Amino acid sequence: MTRREWLGALAAALPAQEPAANAEVKFHRKPKPKPAGAVTEDWMAFLGPRHNATSTETKLSRKLPAPLLWELQKGTGYSSPAIKGDRLLYQHRVGNRELVECLHPEHGARWWQFAYNTTYEDRYGYNNGPRCSPVIDGGKVYTLGAQWQLHCLDLQSGKVIWKRDLAADYKARQDFFGVASTPLIEGKLLIAQVGAVGGPCVVGLDKESGKEVWQAGKEWGPSYASPIPATVHSKRRVFVFAGGESDPPTGGLLCIDPASGKVDFTVPWRSRSYESVNASCPVIFDNKVFISASYRTGGALIEINPDFTHKVAFTTRDFGLHFNTPIHKDGYLYGFDGRNEPDASLACLDTKTGQIAWRATPEWDETIGTGSQQQQRRLGTFRGTLLAADGQYLCLGELGHLLWLDLSPKGHKELARTWLFAARESWALPVLSQGLLYVSQNTRDIMNGSGPRLRCYDLRA
Task: Read off the DSSP letter of residue 242.
Answer: E
How far, in Å, are 190, 256, 396 from residue 228 at the CA level?
12, 10, 22
Q: pLDDT for 138-181, tens place per residue?
A: 999 999 999 999 999 999 999 999 999 999 999 998 888 889 99
Which phi-psi region, left, alpha or beta, contains residue 171 (left: φ > 0; alpha: ψ -120 to 50)?
Answer: left
Q: What is the pLDDT of residue 373?
A: 82
Q: What is the pLDDT of residue 416?
A: 98
Q: What is the pLDDT of residue 3?
A: 43
Q: What is the pLDDT of residue 4?
A: 45
Q: pLDDT for 177-231, tens place per residue?
A: 889 999 999 999 999 999 999 999 999 999 999 999 999 999 899 999 999 999 9
**Contact present, 19 and 413 (Cβ < 8 Å):** no
How far, in Å, are 77, 221, 309 from residue 214 at the CA level?
30, 17, 22
pTM confidence score: 0.95
Q: Which domains does the chain have, with CATH numbers?
A: 79-166 (2.40.10.480)
Could you tell me which residues are beta bridge partners of residue 202? 193, 216
Nearest to 297 by CA among 281, 327, 277, 282: 277
Average pLDDT, the chain: 95
